[in-house]
Structure 1
Amino acid sequence: MKHLLLAGAAVLALALPSPGAQAQLLLSANDNKVVLENGAVKTLREPQPDTLSVIDLSTGTPTLRAEIAVPASVVGPPTSVAITPDEKLALVTANTRPNPAEPGKLMPGNSMAVIDLAATPPRLLATLPTGAAPAGVSINRAGTLALVANRAEGTVSVFRIAHGQVTPAAKVDIGTVASEVSHVEFTPDGRFALVTRNGDHMLNVLQVEGDKVTKLNREITTGVRPYGLTIAPDGRWAVVANIGRGTGDADTVSLVDLTKEPFRVVDTISVGQTPEGIAASPDGRHVAVTVMNGSNKPAHSPFAGPGLVKLLKVEGMRLSVVSEARVGNWAQGAAFAPDGRTLFVGNMTDRDISVLKVAEDGRLSEGGPRIKVAGGSAALRVAQRAAR
């Protein structure tokens, strides 16, 4: 059996700030099962365990505080990790898991890990059943409810959160298996949630009343293969990453107006090949989107290129590209520091996290050395809080 204290005993011994100290944690879910070899995804026969990295942002210098073994997956939108607003609990879904009958092969996962972040070091608290191939996960701003998109089942699982415990509550039918439900995100007021359907190019709207979640009769048409999704902290808009078909063509992101009911797409712009990770800035002025830009293709491909992150401005219910910066290959998640001045991007191939400064006008620049993590960074998240 392989043991995992990958950050070293000295790192794991460092205590996290108490919950009341506003630790400002960044979480990275890391996949160790697959690697990218010259544009081809390869599954390892004897992988190291997947991990969760806990990074403290409260001092202004990102500090890796702990890494523990937690099942994770690069398959699905890079929003497969979530953290409660009080930063006491984390949730991590595992879309895929090793197939014990066929080493080097994967099979759909069916579980979500619950991690106690208040423990020193953080510890796995529970493993809960989900639907088949759980992908994106989100927690409401009240910290009382979580939703999980089950990509190979066409459903959304509902979980209650109370007294430090997470318990299954219900499951909502969204579409057929072919709809490939990928991510689900609460509106800040907790009254609705949006669900991306990667398989049939649309969003669904869910109504949330207490812990009762109901699918409404509203299908929003987006671009090709909507995948990742982010919502402004003030709830005025959502932006969807349409990953396209991976054929080297420029893909898009779509802006959804949430100020009017029924919600509707009001703008769509091109951002380049395969936009995947997407995150709204804390002030609601910008959206960061990771663009693979062919960094996941063979070196000889005419579509090969360096990984990018682009910063978009949202103004007057219109999108525009403000700036871009180089990041690693096969880039996945994006997350802003709570003050909005730093942007983090997870790099799956490079097994690290890029750190970028965000200027007042939206210009991006290097913000410090990359943060090494124990595995390919497959998903990034900070606590979702109300607009500041």
Structure 2
Amino acid sequence: MALRATRSLRPFLAALCAASTAIAVPAWAQGKVYVSSEKDNRLYVFNTTGDRLAAIDVCKRPRDMSFNADGSQIYVICGDSNAMGVVDVAGGKLVGTVPLGESPEMFDLSPDGKTAYVSVEDDSVLGAYDIVAKKPLFEVKTGGEPEGVLVTPDGKTAYVTSEVANVVHVIDLATKKVSKNIKVGKRPRRFVMSPDGSELWVTNELDSTVSVVDTKTHTEKQKIKFAVKGMRDADITPVGMAISPDGNSMWVGLGRANHVAEVDVATKTVKNQILVGKRAWGLGFTPDGKTLFVANGLSDDMTLIDTASGKSVKTVPAGRVPHTILVSK
């Protein structure tokens, strides 16, 4: 399955292991695209050609999403309900919630899928929650307005962005403490890890860049600057990212610039920029990497991009303020 860009690259790293360890998605979920709509309090369901199939009512202001381990459920963070909704995929309905802190934003799961690590904006913490028992486990204080969360595949470390402090917190999950702060760009938002785990890519919304962090030294080793013809730097606001299934290209939503950029992972050069809808943030791939889906939060639609030609092929309505895209196999 193609998971969200701002959490760990566990699905891609898992591909290096035996096939028996891969996450299985039931037949009823295969080939579907889920889009969270913040204003409609729904998840919209599409096929991979952009036809809408269904709508699922969930909790208030749904944002970040992930499948559980066997793909039978979708976890969705609901910012105005202060909860994580649990959606039954086969039944197409909300079947439960897990209480969270004030204004939760993004999350990642522990390798065993039992714990959700959630950025809680108003409390300025990373909160750990037992999904089955539906109870908090612990909190780690962060800088102001934590957002992106990524848990390493070994479950030992969590990375969390602080939009106010302009840092990435490195959190030791055994000691439950911040072990290091990595200075990046202005208003860091989301993460993607390189397939080999050596690099952590971080979008910096307010300086038109992506930081590339060395995961061994926990230092920023490079910044990639974006420029769009006819756009001011202030309008180029990268937030969401997704890496192609082959690991060769990083795709970056440029926010108010209304474009998506394709970056060569090896050379860190921008290969292409594609016009999409307004405020391009959430991104998700089909498993074969042939189609990229882009949630356009201010034009209330989703753009489908043919990655081979580097062109948008269709834009479809996707509810009011679409946020995150989740694609099943």
TM-score (norm 2): 0.81
* 1:332-384: CA deviation from partner (whole Å, max 9, x where unpaired): 2111212222111001232221000112xxx5112x3223223221222346x
Which of 109, 114, 132 aligns to 2:86? It is: 114
Matched, 1:203 2:179: no
- Give, in angstroms, the shift of residue 189 of structure 1: 3.6
- Give, in angstroms, the shift of residue 62 of structure 1: 4.5
Identical positions, percent:
26
Matched, 1:313 2:264: yes
Q: What is the aligned length?
A: 298
Conserved 8 A contact 1:132-1:151:
yes
Conserved 8 A contact 1:232-1:284:
yes
Secondary structure of residue in 1 paired with 2:265: strand
The aligned runs of 1:16-35 (5 Å cut-off) are 19=26, 23-32=30-39
Q: Which residue of 2 aligns with 1:251?
A: 208
* 1:283-323: CA deviation from partner (whole Å, max 9, x where unpaired): 222211111245xxxxxxxxxxxx100011111xx521111
In structure 2, what is the Cα distance between the partners aligned to 1:157 and 1:201?
20
Matched, 1:185 2:140: no
Relative to 1, partners in 2 of residues 1:63 and 1:136: Cα closer, same or farther, differing over 3 Å? same
Question: Structure 1: which amino acid aligns with 2:90?
Answer: A
Structure ranking higher on relative contact order (CA contacts 8 Å, 6+ apart): 2
Matched, 1:175 2:142: yes
Which of 221, 240, 249 aligns to 1:266? It is: 221
Q: Which residue of 2 aligns with 1:67?
A: 55
Which of 199, 202, 223 aligns to 1:237? It is: 199
- Give, in angstroms, the shift of residue 185 of structure 1: 1.2
Matched, 1:379 2:328: no
RMSD between superposed Cα atoms in Å: 2.6
The aligned runs of 1:73-222 (5 Å cut-off) are 73=61, 80-95=64-79, 97=80, 109-119=81-91, 122-161=92-131, 165=132, 167-176=134-143, 179-208=144-173, 214-222=176-184
Conserved 8 A contact 1:145-1:159:
yes
Relative to 1, partners in 2 of residues 1:156 and 1:220: Cα closer, same or farther, differing over 3 Å? same
In structure 1, what is the Cα distance between the partners aligned to 2:45 and 2:256?
28
5+ residue gaps in structure 2?
Answer: 1-23, 228-235
TM-score (norm 1): 0.70
The aligned runs of 1:288-367 (5 Å cut-off) are 288-294=251-257, 307-315=258-266, 319-359=268-308, 364-366=310-312
Q: Which residue of 2 aligns with 1:41?
A: none
Task: Tell which structure's C-alpha radius of gyration is larger.
Answer: 1
- Give, in angstroms, the shift of residue 133 of structure 1: 0.9
Conserved 8 A contact 1:174-1:181:
no
Conserved 8 A contact 2:126-2:141:
yes
Q: Which residue of 2 aligns with 1:10?
A: none
- Give, in angstroms, the shift of residue 20 of structure 1: 5.1
In structure 1, what is the Cα distance between the partners aligned to 2:165 and 2:242?
23
Question: Structure 2: which amino acid aligns with 1:29?
Answer: S
Question: Structure 2: which amino acid aligns with 1:314?
Answer: V
- Give, in angstroms, the shift of residue 203 of structure 1: 0.5
